[in-house]
Structures are given as C-alpha cells and as structure tokens.
Structure 1
Amino acid sequence: MKSFKFLVIALFSVITSCTIDKTDYEAEIGSEVSEYYEFRETVSFTSGNYKISIEALNGTFYKGYNELHLKITNTQTSQNISTSEVTFLPIMTAADGSKTSCPHQYNLQYDAVNKYFAGYSVFTSESVTPDSWKLYVSFTADNQKYEINKDVSVAKQSNKNLNMTTFTGKDNQQYSIALVAPQKPTVSENKLTAGIYKYNKPANAAGTFPDASQFSYSEVSGYTLKLDPRMPEPSMGNHSSPNNQDLTQQNDGLYHGVVNYTMTGNWTLNLIMMNQNGLIIKGTVVPTDFTPGVEGVKSELYIDTLF
C-alpha cells in the first residue's frame, strides 16, 4: 500500500511539473504564432524604364528561408517582362568590410502562370548594425543588360518553427539547414519541410565584384535527414513521439518528412545528415532513456522549435 502511495505521489509530481512548464511556455510566447500566406512587396527599385519589385511573405525578409517573387515592369507600357534573364545575389557586408552571402537561387525562373520570377534566399543573419545586407539584381531587356543593387533589411525570425542552422560537416563542407514548414504546427503528425544547402568553394580567384562564383550555393541532392524529435526539458524527461518520418528530397528540391508533436512546448529536432552513400556528414544518435529531472542530450546537429 505504501508503495502504491509513493507511485501516485511521483506521478502527480511529474504531471504537475509538466503543467507548470506549459504555463511558463504560454507566458513566454505571449501570443499565438502568426501564419503568413500573402506575398507583399518587400523592396522595389528602378533602372531606366523598368521597375523591379520583390515580394516575400508578409512583405518582410526574415532570417531563414524566404520564398521570393520578382516582377519586372516596363513603366512606359505597364507590361510585365517575362523573357528576361534574371539573376539574384544577396551579399552581407560585415563591420570589417568582409563580404559573404547565403543560400539563394541565383538564376530566377519565370512562372508563366503567376507571372513572376520565382526564387528564394536563406538569410543566415538579421540586419544588425554595422552588418548590412544588399541585393544585387541583373536582368536583360531590349537587348540591354541592367545591373542594380539595393540595401535591404532582414528581420529576426520570431517563429521558432522556422529556425535554421549552419555548420561544417565531416567532409569539411559548409552547410545550412532551414525549416520551411509548418509555420504553425498542431498536436498531431505534421508534414515537416526543410531546405539543405551547401556553399560551393570558389575554384578561381575573385573577378570583378560582385563575382557570383565567389558566393555560390547549391541545393544538396540525394541526402537523408534522419529525425528524432525530443522534449529536452528536465520535467519532460527526454520525451519523444512515435510515427516520425525521416526527411528525403522531393521534386521541389526541398526535403520532406513527418514530425509528430504529442503536446505543445519546447521540442528539439535531433538530426543526422547522411549523404547519398549513407555516410554521416553531421549528427549523433541521442539516448532513448526517460530521464525526468535531467535535461535531455541533444544531437551534435539539431534545431530547436517551440509552439
């Protein structure tokens, strides 16, 4: 009988602890996570008779993955340009004058149905003085090439479901993983989408700035992102969930899988990234022990989420 009482008290303590943590979590976020579906103009600039407009979700560039819609309009005829060769290059200048880029689509593709040039940019940092981001855009119209640049602002990503990470793999290559969806998970099995990108180390010395070959990135092809989601909070005891699916690449170039969130709160997506040959590029297996009162061990490759 005494053993039974002790068991009841222990279970009550765990449940109470989880409830308290959940309440603290709700106080931490303060408001619901916003979902953005509308693309709005983020920045525009003109060159000659042409206006270039770039749209992003919510009209804002955020740290992390940004889908982009670029439109070119002849201001004299109000006609959209659809046959141009359009390039897009984001460059960040640091306080010491050094310049870096981020994963992006350099050659934008025209979407004839929606009438815009489609691409993306995975900004690896927000705009913080004195670091600054600038977009370099070129296009061809009427057999003339136009080259324009514009300073832009990159906002902090407040939605932790869209977090990202950058790292050096065991192959000594620089990688970035950015979460794309869901923006607002539910307590259920959620379709999980991420982009994986690699920096292409230049083969030659830099030419005239901005030399795109010095800032080149590519989508990683044929990899596997093994997934092990956990609740690492001490009160949650390294809690996991069933029915998760590893992320594999689909026709859109992104990686798709399933993450099963069994409750709201702090989750860690523990990851192991493997190349086409099954070799581990980054990541470690995490313990499966239930460890109430002890913070859960994370993989060497992980992304934290909170919803």
Structure 2
Amino acid sequence: MKTLKYIIAILFLTGSFLACTDQNDDESLEINPVEGLFKIYEISEADHTVEIYSEKSTLTVGYNEFAIRILDKASNIYITNAALTWMPMMHMESMSHSGPHSILKNVVDNTLYKGHIVFQMAGNDMEYWDLTLKYNFNGQEVTVTQKLSVDQPADGMKKTQVFTGADDVRYVLAFVNPKEPKVAINDFQAVLYKMQDMMTFPLVENYKITVDPRMTSMGNHSSPNNQDMVYNSITKMYEGKLSFTMTGYWRINMQLLNENGDVLKGEEVTENHPESSLYFELEF
C-alpha cells in the first residue's frame, strides 16, 4: 500500500513539474524583444522587411539607442545571424560626415541587433541624417539606406557637448543616464568619443570626468556624495554618481581629464567662477 502511495505521489509531482515547465516555456515564447520600444522606421524590400526601433519616439541630438531586426516575408520569421553593420551619415550643404556609434550587438536568439548612435546636430530642410545598413539575407549581401529625422531635444536641456580639447582633439561627450532622475543618489553614465576623421569616431578609454552638480537658482549650491565618472570597460561608458537633494533645474559641471590628469576641457567651480564650460543640464 505504501508503495502505491509513493508511486501516486511521484506521478503527481512529475505532472506538476511538467505543467510548470510547459507554462514557463509558453511564457518564454510570449516575450516580446522590442516591448517598450518605438518602431520608428520600416524598410520594405521584395522578400523581407527591416524594422528599426528606438527607445524614443523621436530621434534627437545626443545619445539614441536602437534595435533592428529583419523579417523574412515568405516564412514570417525574423532571421538570425544577419551580420548587420551600420553607418550614420550627416549630409550638409557643403560636406558630409558620420557620427559616433557603437557596433551592433546580436541579441535575443540572434534575431535582434542593438546599438547606439550619438547625433551631434539636428537636421533641417536642407541638411539631413541617413542610416546605411548592410546585412546578409538568404546568402546575399544587401545594402539599404533610410533617411532619418533628428530633432533638438524637446526639453531644451544640454545633454551633448562637441568641443576641442586642450590637446587639439575634437571630442563628443553625450549624456546617457539617469533618464528619470530622482531626489536621491543616481547612477550617472555618459559616452565619450573623439573625432579621428570625418568618418571615424573611436571610443575614448581610461580618462576621468569630474562631477559637480549645482542648483543655480538656489545660490548655486551643490550636493553631497557625488562620484566622478571613470571608464567601465564592460559597458564602454563613463560611470559615476549624481546626488540630487531636490527637484528643479540642475547644471552638472564637469572637467575632462586625460590619463595623466591633465585638464582637457572644463573648469573647477568656485565662488568667483560659478560654472564650467563643460556641462550637462537636467530638470525634473
């Protein structure tokens, strides 16, 4: 009798485990890899469609995250391992140039590519950005180009700095996080690139960015427990801490220092010098 009870118990547990496994498999299949993103462009070719997503509904000057995938129209399945590469270009009236951008990383079962682009300037009626994509589809190399609309940030806050350092190198510094700042100690992230030529913008590693947030409308007071930004080789971003003691407008004064500690841009905030020429702006 005991043996029968054990067999029944084992069968019950096995059935419960299989039911949970099936449920978990169903849940994993239901995960949407682009949930929370905006589909900003769709490029339709004869046998496939390229979908371009962003974290924002509108591309703006500064740091923009992208996600891209390719749909096979015949099978209605997103293809894997497309070896996707990209190149953003700004077409001006007298010249053209690229902008800082990451490599595209293949994620989510190899069907989704993610990366970021830093747009240094907005487009207008005569000048515009476009994005060229190259990838493999059914064994063939395909190239497509999509014109992009890039606007100034709606809040008018300064979150991108393009400048020439004391070393005569052209730099692009762009704010990344916090996207939703709070009255607390916030994780602070930014990306730093330099201009090698009109088409090449390599990452700048192992520099340091000092951080001094000030509330200009409240006597230019600062806040405690801020941490200067240092380079993280895993995220490939500069990371530190921002302390906000109240809501309102904050000017984040910064200085860029090279590996030797030489100041390349920005000034220390003092009573006689209330702001740095290198800064970001936040209001919340």
| TM-score range for the pair, normalised by the shorter chain length | 0.7 to 0.9
Distance in 2 (CA, whole Å) between partners of 1:298 and 1:186 is 23
Partner residue, 1:56: 54
Q: Is residue 266 from structure 1 mapped to residue 243 from structure 2 by the alignment?
A: no
Q: Is the 8 A contact 2:80 2:110 kept in 1?
A: no
TM-score normalised to structure 1 length? 0.75
Partner residue, 2:175: 179
Give CA deviations for 1:224-257 in whole Å, capped at 9, x if unaligned.
Answer: 1111111233xx2221111100111221111111
Q: Is the 8 A contact 1:187 1:264 kept in 2?
A: yes
Q: Is residue 280 from structure 1 mapped to residue 263 from structure 2 by the alignment?
A: yes
- Give SS of 1:218's match: coil
What does 1:142-291 correspond to in 2, within 5 Å?
142-159=138-155, 163-201=159-197, 214-233=198-217, 236-250=218-232, 251-287=234-270, 289=271
- Give SS of 1:215's match: coil
Q: Is the 8 A contact 2:81 2:110 kept in 1?
A: no
Q: Is the 8 A contact 1:162 1:178 kept in 2?
A: no
Q: Is the 8 A contact 1:111 1:117 kept in 2?
A: yes
Structure 2: gaps of 5 or more residues? 1-34
One-letter code of the match for 1:252?
A: T
- Give SS of 1:195's match: strand
1:304 pairs with one of 258, 281, 284: 281
Partner residue, 2:111: 115
Aligned length in residues: 249
Shift of 1:143: 2.9
Q: Is the 8 A contact 2:65 2:116 kept in 1?
A: yes
Give CA deviations for 1:174-209 in whole Å, capped at 9, x if unaligned.
Answer: 1111111112211221111111111222xxxxxxxx
Distance in 1 (CA, whole Å) between partners of 2:157 and 2:245 is 15
TM-score normalised to structure 2 length? 0.81
Distance in 2 (CA, whole Å) between partners of 1:224 and 1:113 is 36
One-letter code of the match for 1:104?
A: H
One-letter code of the match for 1:230?
A: R
| RMSD (Å) for aligned C-alpha atoms | 2.0
2:96 pairs with one of 96, 99, 112: 99
Give CA deviations for 1:100-151 in whole Å, capped at 9, x if unaligned.
Answer: 222112x422113573011111112222222211111111223321111111
Shift of 1:79: 2.2
- Give SS of 2:202's match: strand
- Give SS of 2:220's match: coil
Question: Would the alpha carbon gap of residues 114 and 263 (structure 1) be closer, same or farther in structure 2, given more than 3 Å must change?
Answer: farther
- Give SS of 1:183's match: coil
Distance in 2 (CA, whole Å) between partners of 1:300 and 1:48 is 51
Distance in 1 (CA, whole Å) between partners of 2:84 and 2:63 is 20
Q: Is the 8 A contact 1:139 1:145 kept in 2?
A: yes
